[in-house]
Each structure stands twice: as C-alpha cells, then as structure tokens.
Structure 1
Amino acid sequence: MPYPAKLHPGTILSAARQLLEDGGPEALSMRPLAERLGVQPSSLYRHYADRAALLSALETEATLELLATVQAHAAQATPAASLHAVGLAYLAYARQHPHLYGLLLAPKEPYMATPGPGKDLWNAVLALVDAVTGQPDDTAATVAVWAYLHGFVVLERSGQFGLSGPRGGFERGLQALIEGLGRKGGDAGPG
C-alpha cells in the first residue's frame, strides 16, 4: 500500500476512536487501524509512536469533550441547579461513550496535576462545587463529587445494579450530595 499524502493525526485519531467506540479497547490496535485507513501499519508510526500514544490522545479527546459538556451545562439559575445539570450530563456522556469514557477510568500512576485538559476539567468541577459550598478551593467536596460520579458509572458499567437498573438512584444520590454540600460548606457530619 502506498503512503497516503493526506494521512494525518486527526484522520488516524478519528479512525482509532471509531474502532474503540465500536469494539472497546481490545479492538484498537495498529494493524486493524491501518486496515481501516487503507495504509501499512508503519505509516501510523509517523504520527503516533504506538498504541499507548493513541490511547493517550483519545483520553485527551474524551477529557476535552467532558470539559465542554460540563461548561455547556454549568449556566443554570443556581449553583445547585448547575451542579445537578452537570452531574446528569456527565452520566449521559459516560453512557453515550462508554469505551472512550473508560479511558478516564484506567488505572494510572499518581501524578502531579499539570496544566492541560485534565486540570481544566478538575477546575471546572471545582468552581461548580465551590459555588455550592461557598468555600473557595473546596477540594474535599470536589473529591466527593468526583467519587460519586465515577463510582456510579463504574457500578453501572459493571452490571452491579442488576436487571432492574439503578431505579432513579443516581438522581436521588446526586440531589442528596448537592444538598449536603450546600449546608454550611457540607460540614453537617453524623451525629
């Protein structure tokens, strides 16, 4: 197969995303990707060093899309309504793009947050949570929100809710979490 002059990173990433979305991470490897694009696998390495580089680029794409989703749903009448709308949109994104979202859940080594899409996404959620709690840089409350969102998605993806599904549990839990965070900075502890 000849080296196509129009092969560029965006074309490769789009085809890689389609393979991932259609068949999960197992379906994404350089050979099937090259076949889909009608090129030799070696042509891909001019743009992406390996499969890990492709997965990293797709994870960045997912993070940017999730950030856009958060930003698009953040302008509600109240901070609590904004956080609620973002939570629902977040779950919808995870359901619509399960394999792409799954890249965000892949185990990673602990790292220092550096500027970039992941930090931008964190800061967008942090700002929403801060508005609800009334506390600047409320990391603890933001971690609680992240844990709830990610945790629900993981439970749902793994089938832990059984055939009956979560039966409104996401909405109820999200509402309770937001209400709890809104009480004097979320300091209403047990007892």
Structure 2
Amino acid sequence: MPYPSKLTTERIEDVAWERFQAGGEEALSMRPLAEELGVRAGSLYRHFDSRAALLRRLAQRAARDLQGEILRAAEGHEPRNALQATAGAYLHYARTNPHAYALLLVPGETLALPGLKTDAGKALWLTLLGLVGALSGDPDDTDHVVALWTLLHGAASLERAGMYGASGPRGGITLGLNAILDHAQEAGRRRNAPS
C-alpha cells in the first residue's frame, strides 16, 4: 500500500478515537487501525512515534471533550446552578464515555500518566477552578475543587463498578454535592462580608 497523501494526524486520531470509544485500549492496535485507514502500519509512525503517543493524544481529546461538556452545561447559569449542571454533565460523560473517562484518570499499561496530566487536563482543571471560584469568591479555591472532583470521580467509579446496587446512589450524590456547594457559598459570603 502506498503512503496516501490524505493521511493526516487528525484523520488517524479520529479513526483511533472511534475504535477506542467502541472497545477501549484493547481495541486500539496499530495494525488494525492502519488497515481501517487503508495504509501500512508503518505509515502511522510518521504521525505518532508509538501507540503510547497516540493514547496520549486521545487522553488530551478526552479532557477537551469533558471540558466542553462542562462548559456547555454551565453556560448561562448562576454559579451554584452552573456547578450543579456541571456535576450532572461530568457524571453523564463518565457514564456514556467509559473508555475515555478511564483514560482521563487511570494510567493504562501503555500510558504512564492519566489524561489529566496533559495540557488539556490542566485546562479542564482550570475550568472547574473558575466555576468553583465564581461561587466561593476565591479564584484559586483548590480545596473545594478537590472536594467536588473527589465526589464526582468517586460516584462515577462506584457506579461503573456496580457498587450502588439496585437502589442506585439514591440522594447521596446530591447530598454530597449540596454540602460542598453550601460550604463554598458560605466561604464566599464570609470573604465578601464587610469587616
């Protein structure tokens, strides 16, 4: 097979993303990917020096996708409602994109660092930091972001593992989310109170 001039990094990423979303890391072998693209496996290495490099690229895409979902959910809402919508979007993304979500937070066999350690992962963090800071009044409110992320990741992980059982999480996620948001909101009130 000749090296097609239309083979681009973006085309490889798009096809790899489809394969990855359908079957996870196990579905992303370079030879079958090359066959689907109509090229030899060696052609892929002109764009990605290894499978791990391709997975890192997909991890960045997952972080950008989740960030986009969060921004769309938060748009047009007051800070507290924006964070409630964000929580829903986060859990929905984890539920409907399990392979991409796992790539974000759990290093795989060939991926030494999770996707949150990428530039796109840092942008996702900064998005959450901005949303939480709008409620608490602290633009660097790492404590509340960590609490929120811990709650959401824990809920997503427990759901994925089937640990909630038939009754589901019931009101537990809402209870935890409201506790974090109440605390952040109160911190904002104290910060803005006249001295």
TM-score range, shorter chain: 0.7 to 0.9
Measure how far apart 1:48 and its partner are.
Answer: 0.7
Measure how far apart 1:115 and its partner are.
Answer: 8.8
Residue deviations 1:163-188 (CA, integer Å, cap 9, x gap): 4432343333323321232223599x
Write the letter of the residue equivalent to 2:96.
Q
SS at structure 1 position matched to 2:47: coil
- Which moves more between the two structures, 145-154 or 47-56? 145-154
Measure how far apart 1:86 and its partner are.
Answer: 0.9
SS at structure 1 position matched to 2:26: helix
For 1:178 and 1:90, the matched residues in 2 are separated by 16
- Which of 120, 134, 138 is matched with 1:135 structurally? 138
For 2:26 and 2:117, the matched residues in 1 are separated by 29
For 1:109 and 1:3, the matched residues in 2 are separated by 31
| CA 57–160 in structure 1, closer or farther in 2 if over 3 Å, else same | same
Asked if 1:182 is matched to 2:185, the reply is: yes
Measure how far apart 1:51 and its partner are.
Answer: 0.8
> Where does residue 40 of structure 1 map in the other structure?
40
> Where does residue 83 of structure 2 map in the other structure?
83
| CA 35–176 in structure 1, closer or farther in 2 if over 3 Å, else same | same
For 2:13 and 2:124, the matched residues in 1 are separated by 21
For 1:13 and 1:47, the matched residues in 2 are separated by 10
For 2:100 and 2:85, the matched residues in 1 are separated by 21
> Where does residue 19 of structure 2 map in the other structure?
19
- Which moves more between the two structures, 155-164 or 40-49? 155-164
For 1:37 and 1:165, the matched residues in 2 are separated by 42
Counting matched residue pairs gives 186
TM value normalised by structure 2 = 0.84
How big is the alpha-carbon RMSD for the aligned residues of Structure 1 and Structure 2?
Answer: 2.5
Judge conservation of contact 1:133–1:182 (CA < 8 Å) in 2.
yes
> Where does residue 151 of structure 2 map in the other structure?
148
SS at structure 2 position matched to 1:17: helix
Asked if 1:126 is matched to 2:129, the reply is: yes
Identity within the alignment, %: 47
TM value normalised by structure 1 = 0.86
